[in-house]
A and B are shown apart, each in its own frame.
Chain A
Amino acid sequence: MASTSIPQASSAPEIPALGIGPRLAYLLMLAGMLPVAITGIGTFVLGQAPMTHWVLMAHVGASPVFAVGLTLVALTWPSREARYGSFSWFLFWLLLFAGWIVVLSGVLPMTPLLGTEGQHFLYLTHRYAGMAVAILTVLHLLSLRPRR
């Protein structure tokens, strides 16, 4: 995580530094994302999709951790995100949006709302939005350098 001690320009409004809360939220999101990404992308890359058995259980079991972590990031980060520049800001909001799609497309199939075609659409949406989240997270992490 980037340092928070870098002074801001005097003309700009004060951007609060990242406290322990946002950092923990981000860590929680990463902790949830890691097993989810490994199981999800791993089975896809290895040609074993769709997931079954222990892999599926690990994926589903870790998914609420990611969802809660992402939500906490969404609640704690927006006011501080501007510290890291517009590209990071852009990635952050894209990540939140893709994450929202992943979360929603993960839980909607568990409800009696959509038929086979809808379920299949959600499955593909979940797969590709999940990959997008993984990529965006990596990019966002790389972009986390405060502006000078």
Chain B
Amino acid sequence: MSPNCASVSDLPLPSHLRVRAGKFVLRGALTLLLGCLVSGVSDALAADSVATESRMPYRHVIPLRDHNGDMITLPPAFDEQGKPQEPRGSPFSTAQTCGRCHDYPSISQGWHFNAATTNVPAGRPGEPWILTDPATRTQIPLSYRGWKGTFRPTDVGMSDYDFLVQFARHFPGGGVGEPPKDRIDTNDVRMRRMQITGALEIDCLICHNKHGHYDHEARYKAVTAENFKWAPTIASELGAYGASRPAKAFADAWRPPRPAPTNLPPVKYERHRFDAANHVLIDVTRKPSPNTCYYCHTSESNLGDSRWHSDGDVHIRAGMSCVDCHRNGIDHQVVRGYEGETKDRPVSPEAIALRTKLILRDDPSISEADARTLAETRLNAEVGKVETLSCSGCHYGSSDGLSAGRLGAPRPHHVGFPPIHFEKLACTACHSGPIPGNAAEIVHTSLAHKLGLPAPLRGANTAPAIVQPVFLRDANGKIAPHKMVWPSYWGTLSNGVVAPLLPEVVAKAVGDKLPSQAPADVERDPYNTKPLTNEQIRDILTALGAGRTNGEPVFLASGKLHRLANNEVTSETHAAAEPYAWPLGHDVRPASQSVGGVKGCADCHSGDSPIYFGTVTARGPVDPKDAVSKTHLEFRGDDETVVSTFAFTFKFRPMLKVVTFGCALILLGVIVGRAFVALSGARSSLGRHSK
């Protein structure tokens, strides 16, 4: 900051504020502008230069800026001849518009955007993107984070661009959607399309739109048509795509080395959203509502018309928001909320730079190196507070004595619950997800099943098949409920390693061997969920193998690898067919519906306890009889004899209590009786002496 702008009253304003001020105090504004120009305009536009720092939300009446940083100015409604003029303009850029005041580079490091672009620790396994294709019965878990059991998109032959086309419906932009221009390989036939479609910037309004004026369906259609650059404008209902020809068509028609077309359609803006100064009210909130989060984070096991039975999360019912716990600073490193998360949260260089700047502002005598060290130390200390936002951190307090009861979280009593359970079970084991039954059940999620977008009712067999709860051990060795998906794909086996084939490759290679749906079946089963027969698998494997020299064609489904042997399909277990699982945290159930809260100890310690003896059957596009089926304890590798014996001993627990309490009572009687006798004797003795 320039010394000329040291006092609060002289703080340099961002451009949109300068324009508004100019309407009323033109001279003052001109003086200010001049002063700031003299002292350095770049300082005035620095991302952290202005902030209201009030708990009252700032009313964002701001100019929109296009991708070049130019203010979007609508032509007058009528020209000089009185003819109406269309309110056309370039699509607005969130990086240029929001980034004027909010540190866009820091935000870009956030958890929702950083999977592919930075080296942040992957942390606890999370929900993957699942490449799903009903026709080829493909479901491949993908993630840029490298979680074991997932594939990186490039590993299966998907470019970042393909990833965007496939998943931008629920991907908020940034990261792979926004590669630096100098890193776009112009020889890459997919990535170079971004020169036309534009980047998929972080769409701030997906989360921060306050009043629900965000059209996810419009965004889905926009990104499907590869109108990446236009998507935020269209979805936030500021305007509509100004032509019928989408960016995809322009990109398809482009034949390099001819220059990329520049006659791309403008946006036809909603004129009523702009005021006379071409400013727009962007009604945003720092704290998105749960409904906003639910677009991407709905998880529902009450399927179809039984959805009304869902109670939702107990915290939301109590009036909390997701972001009360899953909160973040400007770096958008959203707290994931699991125990041990602090070790997975490095402090970003951007956060250190920002804090260093603030330290230097408050203490000019400190050297920059010292300020940087101090900033790093303070930020690392602050990371510890994340611990208090996990279940136990909030309800019990963190291990380093930070206060419990954040947000008024009640301290659980856990009456009659021996403390050893806290060492063996995660909080979620008893409190999260559906009440466990004898078999893990199908669950639909936003990311996997495109929830939030209109489609025919999704059913129990709609791919991808994900089940919950599966009680596995987490990274801390505690039993926790998980969601689980089994990979299903055609691939080639070579040296024990299976390389997946993309659906389009399979479709092209096998042609009409892929079973087609009878027209009469389409209405009944719009997701084409009929399992493949062994004959169909054999025919496809045979077709895939024809002329193929690099590996043996195989089909992975329902936990098994299917291959041809003497022209017959055989199935076997294989590491590549193992499921991918990730812990679930929600919906949290109340104590009375917790495991242990219904039947007490017998909820777990009985011969039919779901948490041990419930079955988990692999779900996929083959006959369920051929699928892998295990109990929860088998998945965990627990000793069934120990578990069964321990459960059996609980039959004698009432007797044990009666006997032991009886003994304790008799012992007490003997001890008290003896004490009484001793006291009586002592009193008599004292009486004799006094006489």
Instruction: List residues of A whose CB falls within 8 A of some B CB.
Output: 50, 52-54, 56-57, 60-61, 63-64, 67-68, 70-71, 74-75, 78, 93, 96-97, 99-100, 103-104, 106-107, 109-116, 119-120, 123
* Interface residue? B642 (CB, 8 A): yes
* Interface residue? B420 (CB, 8 A): yes
* Interface residue? B85 (CB, 8 A): no
For B424, the chain A residues whose CB sits under 8 A away are 52
For B663, the chain A residues whose CB sits under 8 A away are 64, 67-68, 70-71, 103
Partner pick for A63 among B418, B660, B674, CB 8 A cutoff: B660
Whether B419 pairs with A75 at a CB distance below 8 angstroms is no
A63 to B663, CA, bound (A): 11
Listed A/B pairs (23) with beta-carbon separation below 8 Å: A50-B420, A53-B639, A54-B642, A57-B646, A60-B656, A64-B656, A64-B659, A64-B663, A67-B663, A68-B663, A71-B662, A71-B667, A96-B670, A97-B671, A100-B667, A100-B671, A103-B660, A107-B660, A110-B416, A110-B656, A111-B657, A115-B412, A116-B422
Whether B670 pairs with A78 at a CB distance below 8 angstroms is yes
Whether B667 pairs with A99 at a CB distance below 8 angstroms is yes
Q: Given the interface contacts A53-B639, A67-B664, A100-B668, does A114 sit within 8 Å of B415 by beta carbon? A: yes
A148 to B594, CA, bound (A): 64
A71 to B415, CA, bound (A): 28
For A107, the chain B residues whose CB sits under 8 A away are 656-657, 660-661, 664
* Interface residue? B649 (CB, 8 A): yes
Partner pick for B667 among A52, A103, A109, A110, CB 8 A cutoff: A103
Interface size on B, residues (CB 8 A): 33
Whether A110 pairs with B639 at a CB distance below 8 angstroms is no
Whether A112 pairs with B416 at a CB distance below 8 angstroms is yes
For B657, the chain A residues whose CB sits under 8 A away are 107, 110-111
Whether A71 pairs with B666 at a CB distance below 8 angstroms is yes
* Interface residue? B413 (CB, 8 A): yes
Whether B668 pairs with A57 at a CB distance below 8 angstroms is no
Given A57-B649, A119-B418, A123-B419, 4 more pairs with CB closer than 8 A: A53-B646, A54-B642, A70-B663, A110-B657
Binary interface profile of B, 404-427, with partner A (CB < 8 Å = 1, else 0)? 000000001111111110111000
Q: Given the interface contacts A53-B642, A57-B646, A60-B656, does A119 sit within 8 Å of B667 by beta carbon? A: no
A18 to chain B, nearest CB (A): 17
Name the residue on B nearest A77 (C-beta): B670
* Interface residue? B645 (CB, 8 A): yes
Whether B664 pairs with A111 at a CB distance below 8 angstroms is no
Partner pick for A93 among B413, B649, B661, B674, CB 8 A cutoff: B674
For A112, the chain B residues whose CB sits under 8 A away are 415-416, 600
Which interface residue of B417, B419, B424, B659 has the most chain A CB atoms within 10 A?
Answer: B419
Partner pick for B660 among A61, A67, A115, A116, CB 8 A cutoff: A67
B233 to chain A, nearest CB (A): 53
Name the residue on A nearest B414 (C-beta): A116
For B414, the chain A residues whose CB sits under 8 A away are 115-116, 119
Name the residue on A nearest B666 (C-beta): A71
For B642, the chain A residues whose CB sits under 8 A away are 53-54
For A115, the chain B residues whose CB sits under 8 A away are 412-415
For A110, the chain B residues whose CB sits under 8 A away are 416, 653, 656-657
A116 to B424, CA, bound (A): 15
Q: Given the interface contacts A53-B646, A67-B659, A71-B663, does A119 sit within 8 Å of B417 by beta carbon? A: yes
For A119, the chain B residues whose CB sits under 8 A away are 414, 416-419
For A53, the chain B residues whose CB sits under 8 A away are 639, 642, 646
For A70, the chain B residues whose CB sits under 8 A away are 663, 667
Which interface residue of A52, A68, A119 has the most chain B CB atoms within 10 A?
Answer: A119
Whether B417 pairs with A116 at a CB distance below 8 angstroms is yes
Minimum-distance CB pairs A-B, first 6: A112-B416, A115-B413, A67-B663, A107-B660, A100-B667, A74-B670
A103 to chain B, nearest CB (A): 5
For A74, the chain B residues whose CB sits under 8 A away are 666-667, 670-671
Whether A50 pairs with B667 at a CB distance below 8 angstroms is no
For A111, the chain B residues whose CB sits under 8 A away are 416, 657
A107 to B667, CA, bound (A): 14
For B423, the chain A residues whose CB sits under 8 A away are 50
Partner pick for B418 among A75, A113, A123, CB 8 A cutoff: A123
A56 to B642, CA, bound (A): 11
A114 to B418, CA, bound (A): 9
Which interface residue of B424, B639, B642 has the most chain A CB atoms within 10 A?
Answer: B642
Name the residue on A nearest B641 (C-beta): A54
For B415, the chain A residues whose CB sits under 8 A away are 112-115
For B667, the chain A residues whose CB sits under 8 A away are 70-71, 74, 96, 99-100, 103
Q: Given the interface contacts A57-B649, A97-B671, A110-B653, does A103 sit within 8 Å of B664 by beta carbon? A: yes
Whether B660 pairs with A109 at a CB distance below 8 angstroms is no
A65 to chain B, nearest CB (A): 10
Partner pick for A64 among B412, B660, B674, CB 8 A cutoff: B660
A68 to B661, CA, bound (A): 10
A77 to chain B, nearest CB (A): 10
A92 to B667, CA, bound (A): 13
Whether B664 pairs with A57 at a CB distance below 8 angstroms is no
For A52, the chain B residues whose CB sits under 8 A away are 420, 424
B671 to chain A, nearest CB (A): 6
